[in-house]
Amino acid sequence: MMLNKSVIFSLGIFCSATVFAQTPAPVSEPDELTILHINDHHSNLEAYSANLLLNTGKQTQREPVSVSLGGFARISAAFESLAKNNDNVLKLHAGDATTGTLYHSLSVGQADADLMNTICFDAMTVGNHELDLGDLALFNFMEMLWYSPACKTPLLSSNLRPGPKSALANNVIKPSIVLERGGHKIGIVGVTSAYKTQHASRPDPGTILGNELESVQNEINRLTQQGVNRIIVLAHLGYPAEQKLAQQLSGVDIIVGGDSHTLLGSKTLNDYGLKPMGPYPTRLVNADNQPVCLVQAWQYSSVVGELKVRFDANDNVVDCQGQPHLLIGTDFNRKGTPVTPEEHQAILADLATQTEIMAIEPSARALSMLAPHQEKLKAFANQQVGTAPLDICSRRFPGVAGAGSSKLAGCDINQHPNTHGGDIQQLVAHAFLMQGKNFGGADIAIQNGGGVRTDIAAGPVTVGDIYSVLPFRNMLVRLTVKGQDLKKVLEDSIDSVLKGNTGSYPYAAGLRWDLDLAAPKQEKLSNLQTKQEDGTWGPLDPERTYKVIIIDFLADGKDGYQHFANAPDIAREDTFLPYAESFLKYVQSNPTLERLPVTEYSTQTIKGIASLNKLLGLLKK
């Protein structure tokens, strides 16, 4: 990139962002590039229901209203609509198209490829989850994308280095491509998170992920030597790492990012109950003290980013502006009951005052492409994946019969869950631990009792049963936690139970304890033991760090687990492995679904049940 830039940045404070400060030198004949982009749709192809804070005109304050959010058919419609209104458009995907729903479990990428080809992206970077099933699966996904003769989306990664026996050998994945828009050459360089992909996904032996900064810089240097001076890095590194990369690179103009599922946008989004983590675009300066514009587009087929970048005749960035488009329907309702016509009009009038939330109908073409996959999914949900010889009982809290969430009559009188807690909760925690061990390693897993919603009755177990047990949109998170912090979190969760939130009760795999509800605060758990590699049990070490698998809901500090979110020394890694799919994989590998041995239950003994007498009315609700 030329170093005689005609604009500079002055450093700001918020999110390490910067603002443009133009020099007195004139800028000649600016032209504009529009980038439409998504990231991390993770096989989320259907719309889902979400609550937004909307102005219904019914009261002075906004109120929660449910509405359909996202879906890939809306993504397709938004790309088509926004492309019509702009010149010199690039359509980019910043990785993690696959893994996340039954659509991927069933078609291993085909459903995603079919829907992506309704847009025909100009480029996609390889995300870490594209390598969850190895090199051949990524090669097959590329073949699926290229099956359409009219659309051949190139997959990019400058730091992915396949082994000699890999299906990706022979430069199948390109480090970069050069496209033309408005008569100008534009280089697009891909980069993939190295550590996470190497250690938490499953690239083939011999396939390595090189240093991100070094790989991208080498590719930028190669392109600029060829006279390509407008450079986009299509990154799957996460918002913090992408901010750092932007400031370390020489020659970069734009970073279109992913991996951290970051919502960027204006503070106006807070009014609607959303939490943007930074401005869209985030403006930074590179190693040459030249402008860099950084964007992401949240997650799960919910947002299309629209970035406009102006260049002058010397390929210098003049300015960048843009916005996210959160895609919604118009089926506004409260708990399934539609709002009144007057409220509907008030909501639409309020939405018309801003540009970041877009009500849009799904693309008919994309819906028709999705339809056969929906039919297969429905059939798959009825597919038997296992058998339960006995009822696998649900119990939010051990020690009290009828302590919530059981729908099977026999479970209320079964002494096993009375003593040790829910069989299904314990099994789910165990399944999460097994998934964590397969993807990056894990010592312990924890699941709150209320997050597991129902029993599994004796008899056939279907895919649909699995998703009834775990119906939410949670993902697995790996935390690096000291033993002393882990004990504090568990004690806090017991306190939350005693305050009436029985769903907080912890179920752990690889960790067990004795519980005395009558003991003083922070002393209710004793004899905490972790399972060793040789299968024996040893004391929880307060100073040792443990890898703990947990759902993102708890990692965010919800349901009495605040210390997970607030403790500065707890390191977090978002795996973005869906929790229901993780349990499904466990059942598929263990089709005879039985209770675990008593020695594996986290609650070994319980005393002080009298302390719960005041909660009995609550427990039976």
Using CA atoms, how far residue 452 sits from 109, 176, 231, in Å, is 28, 45, 47
Q: Which residues pair with 21 in a beta bridge?
A: 8
Neighbours of 532 (CB within 10 A): 11
Together in a domain, 456 and 413? yes
| Res. 245 pLDDT band, cuts 50 70 90 | very high
H helices, E strands: number in the chain: 19, 32
Longest dimension (CA), the chain: 82
Q: Which residues pair with 388 in a beta bridge?
A: 459
148: helix, coil or strand?
coil
CA torsion 410-416-420-424 (nearest 10°) is -50
Instruction: Answer for the pair 256, 235: CB distance below 8 angstroms, yes or no.
Output: yes
CA distance 444 to 429: 9
- Establish if 49 belongs to a structural domain: yes
Encode pLDDT of 321-364 as tens digits. 999 999 999 999 998 899 999 999 999 999 999 999 999 999 99
Encode pLDDT of 253-294 as tens digits. 999 999 989 999 999 999 999 999 999 999 999 999 999 999
Strands 176-181 and 160-161: unpaired
Tokens of 101: 């729903």
| Res 29: pLDDT | 55
For residues 590-619, one letter each, b for 16 or more C-beta atoms within 10 angstroms of the residue's C-beta and e for the rest, the string is eeebebeeeebbbbbebeeeeebeebeeeb
- Geometric angle at alpha carbon 28, from 25 and 29, rounded to 5°: 155
Together in a domain, 371 and 386? no
| Res. 17 pLDDT band, cuts 50 70 90 | very low
Neighbours of 519 (CB within 10 A): 16
CATH number for the domain spanning 484: value is 3.90.780.10
Encode pLDDT of 111-136 as tens digits. 999 999 999 999 999 999 999 889 99
Question: Which range marks the domain in which residue 205 is found?
Answer: 32-378
- Establish if 170 belongs to a structural domain: yes
- Establish if 18 belongs to a structural domain: no
Query: What is the Cβ-side half-sphere exposure of residue 31, based on CA atoms within 13 angstroms?
Result: 12
Strands 89-93 and 63-69: unpaired
When divided into structural domains, the chain yields a total of 2
pTM of the model: 0.78
Together in a domain, 217 and 341? yes
Cis amide bond preceding 568, omega within 30: no
| Res. 399 pLDDT band, cuts 50 70 90 | confident
Phi, psi of 214 (to 5 degrees): -60, -45
- Establish if 40 belongs to a structural domain: yes
* Residue where a domain stops, chosen among 314, 344, 378: 378
Together in a domain, 605 and 471? yes
Specify burial of residue 533 (Cβ count, 10 A radius: 0-12, 13-18, 19+). Answer: exposed
| Res. 19 pLDDT band, cuts 50 70 90 | very low
* Residue where a domain stops, chosen among 320, 346, 378: 378
Together in a domain, 357 and 226? yes
What residues contact residue 498 under an 8 Å CB cut-off, 6+ apart? 517, 611, 612, 615
Instruction: Answer for the pair 104, 43: CB distance below 8 angstroms, yes or no.
Output: yes
CATH number for the domain spanning 52: value is 3.60.21.10
- Establish if 17 belongs to a structural domain: no
Together in a domain, 343 and 410? no
Mean pLDDT of 60-67: 94
Strands 254-256 and 291-295: parallel
Rg (CA), the chain: 26
- Establish if 466 belongs to a structural domain: yes
3-state SS of 18-62 is EEEEECCCCCCCCEEEEEEEECCCCCCCCCEEEEEEECCCCCCCC
Together in a domain, 594 and 481? yes
Together in a domain, 555 and 583? yes
- Establish if 15 belongs to a structural domain: no
CA distance 370 to 91: 21
Together in a domain, 369 and 429? no
